[in-house]
Structure 1
Amino acid sequence: MKKKYLILFIATGSLLLLSFQVFKSGSFLLQSSGIVIENYVEPDYGLGAGHIDSLLPFPEFKDGDRTPFDLWRYGGKDKSSFSNAELPMEWNAWLAFNQERKPALMHDIDAYMHSRYNFSQEAFPGVFMSGGRKKIMKGPVSRLPKGINTYEELANLSPEEIKYRDLFPFKPLAHPLASTAHMVFPDAWNKAHPEHVRMDLDHDYPEAYLPEFPAPMFLTTHKELGDVTNGREITFSNYFEIFNGLLTPEQLEGLKELLRPSPTGWFNQTTHRVTVEPSTGVACFSCHVNGHTNGAFELAPDSRPQLSRLRVGTPSMRGNYNMMQFASKRSIRSMDHFAEVEEYFDGDPAMMQQIGPRAIQKVVANRMGDFNAILDFPPAPKLDAMNQLIPEKATEQELLGEKLFNGKAKCITCHSGPAFVDDYLHDLQVERFYIGRPEGPIKTFSLRGIKDSPPYLHDDRLPTLDDTVEFFNLVLGLKLTKVEKEALTAYLLCL
């Protein structure tokens, strides 16, 4: 039974009346006044009875300690927001510890990923990414829970039943070593850039389910050239030869800075690193290769404790000229601002000072933003000037998908306009389907050119577009048929 308390106290000569309700037994401390209220425990804020009680406190850890793969089960506060550049052991011991453990850790990571996904490597026939070299994987490959035979059967259950029976196949995907965390590069990148091979772990996704490398680059200022890279990775060594005569001097300067490596929290010249040899660090284009993405992932720098930080895949920079918000949760409002604060030190200026600041001045960030502002989307030959399918070029299935996109599937609610994005953050309240920590509002990402950017959702939990359609069909309660879901995927491949 709820109890209601009225408390009077005097502060700075004024009378303040507090009124609130008590839900469970416990106590509450009003810190500003020192008043302790007995028989009070925090309410569940609409998350459901017992929800808070079922979350586990984050475990204590040191850098390098293995962390649970199911970090969504944990919640709470850390002892401190700050970190430092001291390793938990001497360098030689750190090196040996990580190298010796890596095979067993990768074995467990691989087993976990295959317990969640059936990486069949089945591709759509005759469908390729924009560079024309890499096939697009078909899905869904997310494994259904035991006792559920089809996604249609799962979608007929209520969120409460799915949660109670622990049937949700789309739980968050954690960084597999969240204590150390930082950037994890795919095999294709590491093969070309062995200085970024980590001593402690490798990427957890098969190469077939990641973006093509290197991706083509398209410029708003030179559409007549198509892919201005001609299939090459843009590097510090070749950027001037490729772009001199195409860009303004200011844009050339901005591109140079996007290619210039800087020290980061774990890729640098000190012993606080995850590479065998010291390195010059990481450049913007180390993850955003050719202004796109290579599928590298990190932890979002916007929260503490460390283990509460959400895994984030690298988003494409294509089409940023038509977007008003950047970063997954913090709503950074300009490209130059994002370039200035890019979190190479995980949101910890003290760590930056210990290892060596990036020293990106505002004028330089502006030039980086200036180049970023001419990165175009890839061609979409089936779309007209208003981004609608051209009936003569589209199949019946694709036209049905467009109709669903703008109607029953509700995609247009968040994915509108020339970039297919509304520039808002949305909270899908996915915790309705499983017992776990709410993730809160996440930025809507553009769907233009989406076939080039697997895996999907902010934390890479959806390997294919088919998985993505199944996720939203379930989370939004759309009740799409199998035929409708396939049509929606066919339409997304046109964007």
Structure 2
Amino acid sequence: MKKRLGYVLLIGCLLLFSFQIVKNKLHLLQSPGAVIENYIEPDYGLGAGHIDSLLPFPDIKKGERTPFDLWNYGGKGKSSFMDPNLPMEWEKWVEFHEKQKPELMLDIKAYMNSRYNFTMNSFEGKFMSGGRKPIMQGPVSRLPEGIKSFEELAKLSAEEIKEKDLFPFKPLAHPLASTAHMVFPDSWNKTHPEHIRIDVDHDYPDEYLPEFPPPMFLTTHKELGDVTDGKEITLANYYEIFNGLLTPEQMEGLKELLRPTATTWFNQTTHRVTKEPSAGVSCFSCHVNGHTNGAFELAPDSRPHLARLRVGTPSMRGNYNLMQLASKRSIRSMDHFAEIEEYFDGDPGMMQHIGPRAHQKSVANRMGDFNAMLDFPPAPKLDAMGNLIPEKSTKQELFGEQLFRGKAKCVSCHGGPAFVDDYMHDLKVERFYKGRPQGPIKTFPLRGIKDSPPYLHDDRLPTLDDTVEFFNLVLELKLDKKEKEALTAYMLCL
């Protein structure tokens, strides 16, 4: 009896002691947080029922087809994290895509042809900076049925265009967003067949993509023009080309920009989209010669995966003049960007499973150092202050410059030596179509813009003419055909 009473007293003392500890340490406990009772969410100007008007994202496994109209979907996904395992065994994975890819590519081609009329018409005598590839003429975006011209469309209000579903510039989705990742153009894959995917190919005709390989211009050696002499820079030739031009630190940075490393889907494991194991990709696999080859990806800045925006590869030229990198996250330095580049879709867990890039800060700094030397292409018609030289310019180009700085409002976002304000802007394009708002996007420089089709962050605008039509409509500028053609002519001079 005394023994049992002793146990009871001991337990009581322990409970009392524990209570005192908890009482004295309440500040260490996590409170549940405040909750507004009977909460009703405001529409925030997006319109009543804006969430309810969107479809829930479908539950789709890796590799399965995704809708081309992903702007119609919204909301939250099941998880922020990826699974390093395929949904089936490797042999079945290959077999699955060998069966799905031909039909998928036919449907992608049909979809792109429903949105664009790729006429293959180019501007007479106008070429990209390398002097070989013609610049394609537009607009090639198809007008909605019943609308005869872009001028007729521009007379309608945003509300009317939205209600009648007449907007020809809806977002462009990654054609296989369940797997997503980098999709390289045919011109790249012919030289680098190790990057041919078993599941999907590029959706743009090569004529509407940047020249390959593009020239490279350095801030430190303007006298050399294209320092590559028409070559693609690789690990095999970079030393021969740049020895005697760069500092040893810059050589190291360039080497790292060229060094392949594993990614979410290009790697040595079976979690891949190439037939054979891959060494991965390098920065210059997409930003070839410090420019772009037109490859596209999904931005790693959001979840679920189907909500991530398609992003085309921007040029690295002129990054020395930018304080914002990445389309939506506003990364503030080139060395930081080199450090966190989207090799693993913003998922450190996948990096651990496949094998990290293992970049030290000092290496990223050197990559940023070389990046900071990549110059824009020459613009012979511009003076030292970025103005057109009248003696070298046509009346149409000079008229375009006047519009650019006036009626067309371009200079509001595109000023200074790089023709960019270095801000993010929300164009609120959802005023014109029913779908998920895309929010603020980084403004891109217009210096050398003729070399970087297609345009806008998600490649939805194949030509500069399409871009002018897009902004004329979205900003409600009411430009006539002559004015729009002059704006394109001016931008070809930049």
TM-score bin, normalised by smaller chain:
over 0.9
Q: In the aligned structure 2, how far is the partner of 1:368 from the partner of 1:201?
A: 31
- Residues 155-207 of structure 1: CA deviation (Å, up to 9, x unaligned): 01000000000000000000000000000000000000000000001000000
Residues 286, 295 of structure 2: 8 Å contact kept: yes
Q: 1:51 is matched with which residue? A: 50
Q: Which runs of 4+ in 1 moved over 6 A?
A: none
Q: 2:396 is matched with which residue? A: 397
Residues 267, 274 of structure 1: 8 Å contact kept: yes
- Residues 249-297 of structure 1: CA deviation (Å, up to 9, x unaligned): 0000000000000000000000000000001000000000000000000
Residues 172, 461 of structure 1: 8 Å contact kept: yes
Alignment of 1:142-181 (within 5 A): 142-181=141-180
- Residues 394-432 of structure 1: CA deviation (Å, up to 9, x unaligned): 000000000000000000000010000111000000000
1:344 aligns with 2:343: yes
Q: 1:485 is matched with which residue? A: 484
- Residues 444-473 of structure 1: CA deviation (Å, up to 9, x unaligned): 000000000000000000000000000000
1:82 aligns with 2:100: no
Structure 1 residue 52, shift from structure 2 partner: 2.5
1:63 aligns with 2:51: no
Q: In the aligned structure 1, how far is the partner of 2:430 from the partner of 2:35?
A: 35
1:368 aligns with 2:367: yes
| SS of residue matched to 2:108 | helix
| SS of residue matched to 1:312 | strand
| SS of residue matched to 1:252 | helix
Residue identity in the other structure for 2:410: C
Q: In the aligned structure 1, how far is the partner of 2:476 from the partner of 2:400?
A: 17
Q: 2:7 is matched with which residue? A: none
Q: 2:446 is matched with which residue? A: 447
Residues 44, 52 of structure 1: 8 Å contact kept: no
Q: 452-461 or 48-57, which moves further after superposition?
A: 48-57
Alignment of 1:90-489 (within 5 A): 90-489=89-488
| SS of residue matched to 2:124 | strand
Q: % of aligned pairs identical?
A: 80
Q: 1:21 is matched with which residue? A: none
Residue identity in the other structure for 1:299: L
Q: In the aligned structure 2, how far is the partner of 1:360 from the partner of 1:331?
A: 21
Residue identity in the other structure for 2:350: M
Residues 401, 490 of structure 1: 8 Å contact kept: yes
Residues 51, 435 of structure 1: 8 Å contact kept: no
Q: In the aligned structure 1, how far is the partner of 2:278 from the partner of 2:196?
A: 11
| SS of residue matched to 2:123 | strand
Structure 1 residue 34, shift from structure 2 partner: 5.8
Distance 1:399 1:354, change over 3 A: same
Structure 1 residue 490, shift from structure 2 partner: 0.1
Structure 1 residue 49, shift from structure 2 partner: 3.2
| SS of residue matched to 2:370 | helix
Q: 1:23 is matched with which residue? A: none
Structure 1 residue 35, shift from structure 2 partner: 6.2
Structure 1 residue 79, shift from structure 2 partner: 1.4
Q: In the aligned structure 2, how far is the partner of 1:35 from the partner of 1:290?
A: 54
Q: 2:22 is matched with which residue? A: none
Q: In the aligned structure 2, how far is the partner of 1:140 from the partner of 1:448?
A: 21
Q: In the aligned structure 1, how far is the partner of 2:317 from the partner of 2:34?
A: 52
The TM-score with structure 2 as length reference comes to 0.93
| SS of residue matched to 1:125 | strand
Residues 253, 370 of structure 2: 8 Å contact kept: yes
Q: In the aligned structure 2, how far is the partner of 1:374 from the partner of 1:33?
A: 51
| SS of residue matched to 1:54 | coil
Residue identity in the other structure for 1:201: V
Q: In the aligned structure 2, how far is the partner of 1:286 from the partner of 1:53?
A: 41
- Residues 34-63 of structure 1: CA deviation (Å, up to 9, x unaligned): 6642xx542321012343221111111110
Residues 181, 265 of structure 2: 8 Å contact kept: yes
Q: In the aligned structure 1, how far is the partner of 2:249 from the partner of 2:267?
A: 28
- Residues 201-251 of structure 1: CA deviation (Å, up to 9, x unaligned): 100000000000000000000000000001000000000000000000000
- Residues 128-163 of structure 1: CA deviation (Å, up to 9, x unaligned): 000000000000000000011000010010000000
For structure 1, the residue ranges without an aligned partner over 5 or more in a row are 1-30
Q: In the aligned structure 2, how far is the partner of 1:489 from the partner of 1:110?
A: 27
Pick the structure with more helix per residue: 2
Q: How many residues align?
A: 465
Q: In the aligned structure 1, how far is the partner of 2:94 from the partner of 2:269?
A: 13
The TM-score with structure 1 as length reference comes to 0.93
Residues 76, 304 of structure 2: 8 Å contact kept: yes
Residues 312, 460 of structure 1: 8 Å contact kept: yes
Residues 217, 228 of structure 1: 8 Å contact kept: yes
For the aligned residue pairs, the C-alpha RMSD in angstroms reads 1.2
- Residues 104-151 of structure 1: CA deviation (Å, up to 9, x unaligned): 000000000000000001000000000000000000000000011000
Q: In the aligned structure 1, how far is the partner of 2:49 from the partner of 2:36?
A: 27
Distance 1:141 1:132, change over 3 A: same
1:32 aligns with 2:24: no
| SS of residue matched to 1:52 | coil
Structure 1 residue 33, shift from structure 2 partner: 4.3
Larger radius of gyration: 2
Residues 299, 309 of structure 2: 8 Å contact kept: yes
Residues 67, 179 of structure 1: 8 Å contact kept: yes
Residue identity in the other structure for 1:444: T
Residues 263, 343 of structure 2: 8 Å contact kept: yes
For structure 2, the residue ranges without an aligned partner over 5 or more in a row are 1-31
- Residues 11-51 of structure 1: CA deviation (Å, up to 9, x unaligned): xxxxxxxxxxxxxxxxxxxx7346642xx542321012343
- Residues 364-414 of structure 1: CA deviation (Å, up to 9, x unaligned): 000000000100000000000001000000000000000000000000000
Q: In the aligned structure 1, how far is the partner of 2:320 from the partner of 2:109?
A: 38
Q: In the aligned structure 1, how far is the partner of 2:188 from the partner of 2:209?
A: 11
| SS of residue matched to 1:127 | strand
| SS of residue matched to 2:485 | helix
